[in-house]
């Protein structure tokens, strides 16, 4: 093609349709009753899975995975315009059928009368009772009804709940229910506050990683522990064109804006390609302004939730009485 390079085409192909919609056109996504499935507000026969990004437009009998195919087949863009858009250049095209959708008001899920089920679940994942109790006392963790999900709450500077992440305690084939509560403001993500004043914050990819690392550090309450609610990173071995992967996390930017006393950032992302990529981008962005400590899990491919669970199993085996021969 005369107007795009092979490198741009390859970079455009690396973005999934769900990733593109969630990042740039979230107002077009509407949750269906099926777990992990969304539909478009302007095409109700269009369904997309948030985990695999596989989409199918039933009325046209077409489907795919990539954002490039979505823009061409669903939004009717020309190939070159779609490539340029996904490489963050600015074509003149705007989707003609995009529908603005008012964001639903945020409301926390209803609370269950106790937290026994989520405590048992988190204990099983290696999270200590002390850490769970501390989070419950700070009103940032509770059990919901009717499905007994663990609810991780994010608050603004006035202490008002503005965000909630729901994690199911029942897993099937190693996968459990996960979702953000409707109306959540992502920039106010889950954060475990310290007991006393501090100038330190540790950042994690997920809520449970924050609890797990706190457990592994014997429940220390000496710093903020902030969940980023996920990270943006390219696929391994992909040629990087998009600047969006190099932006600092919005969650961390908002936190630092509201906490000018912070001097030290401890990066605790997962020890996989995406986590290491995110670590390097944050390090480059904040070095010179903050003291940066990179503290990824020692085990390749692991996160702190994995390590906490492994530590629990090790302790269980060690404490088991020896069988008589």
Number of H-type helices and E-type strands within the chain:
10, 14
Taken in order of first residue, the domains within the chain and their CATH numbers are 4-86 (3.90.580.10), 113-231+245-316 (3.40.1360.10)
Q: Where are the beta strands (DSSP E) in the chain?
A: 29-31, 37-40, 43-49, 55-57, 62-64, 141-143, 150-155, 161-172, 175-180, 191-192, 200-204, 224-227, 264-267, 291-294
For the chain, what's the residue count? 325
**pLDDT tens track, the chain, 325 positions:** 446 777 778 777 888 889 888 887 888 888 888 888 999 888 878 999 998 889 998 878 888 998 889 988 888 888 888 887 777 533 333 444 444 456 678 999 999 999 999 999 999 999 999 999 999 999 999 999 998 999 999 999 999 999 999 999 887 665 678 888 988 998 999 999 999 999 999 999 999 999 999 999 999 999 999 999 988 777 776 655 455 567 889 999 999 999 999 999 999 999 999 899 999 999 999 999 999 999 999 999 999 999 999 999 888 787 666 554 4
How far apart CA 312 and CA 310 sit, in angstroms, is 5
pTM above threshold 0.75: no
CA angle 43, 44, 49 (to 5 degrees): 100
Is residue 211 within a helix (H) or strand (E), and if so which, with residue range? helix 207-216
Contacts made by residues 280-286, CB under 8 angstroms, sequence distance 24+: 281/245, 281/246, 281/247, 281/248, 282/203, 282/248, 282/249, 282/252, 285/246, 285/248, 286/248
């Amino acid at each position: 093609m005369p107007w795009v390079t092979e490198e741009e085409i390859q970079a455009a192909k690396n973005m999934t349709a769900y990733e593109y919609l969630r990042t740039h056109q979230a107002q077009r996504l509407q949750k269906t009753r099926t777990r992990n499935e969304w539909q478009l507000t302007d095409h109700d026969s269009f369904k997309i899975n948030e985990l695999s990004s596989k989409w199918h437009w039933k009325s046209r009998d077409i489907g795919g995975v990539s954002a490039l195919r979505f823009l061409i087949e669903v939004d009717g863009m020309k190939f070159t315009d779609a490539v340029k858009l996904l490489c963050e250049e600015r074509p003149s095209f705007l989707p003609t059928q995009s529908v603005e959708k008012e964001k639903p008001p945020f409301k926390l899920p209803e609370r269950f009368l106790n937290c026994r089920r989520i405590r048992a679940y988190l204990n099983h994942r290696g999270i200590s009772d002390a850490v769970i109790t501390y989070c419950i006392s700070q009103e940032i963790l509770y059990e919901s009804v009717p499905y007994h999900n663990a609810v991780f709450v994010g608050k603004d500077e006035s202490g008002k709940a503005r965000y909630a992440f729901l994690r199911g305690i029942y897993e099937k084939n190693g996968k459990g229910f996960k979702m953000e509560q409707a109306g959540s403001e992502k920039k106010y993500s889950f954060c475990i506050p310290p007991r006393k004043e501090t100038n330190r914050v540790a950042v994690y990819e997920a809520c449970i990683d924050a609890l797990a690392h706190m457990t592994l550090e014997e429940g220390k309450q000496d710093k903020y522990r902030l969940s980023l609610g996920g990270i943006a990173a390219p696929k391994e071995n992909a040629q990087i064109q998009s600047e969006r992967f190099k932006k600092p996390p919005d969650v961390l930017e908002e936190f630092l804006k509201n906490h000018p006393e912070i001097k030290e950032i401890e990066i605790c992302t997962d020890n996989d390609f995406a986590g290491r990529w995110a670590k390097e981008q944050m390090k480059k962005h904040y070095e010179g302004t903050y003291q940066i400590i990179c503290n990824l899990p020692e085990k390749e491919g692991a996160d702190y939730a994995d390590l906490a669970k492994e530590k629990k199993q090790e302790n269980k085996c060690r404490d088991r009485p020896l069988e008589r021969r």
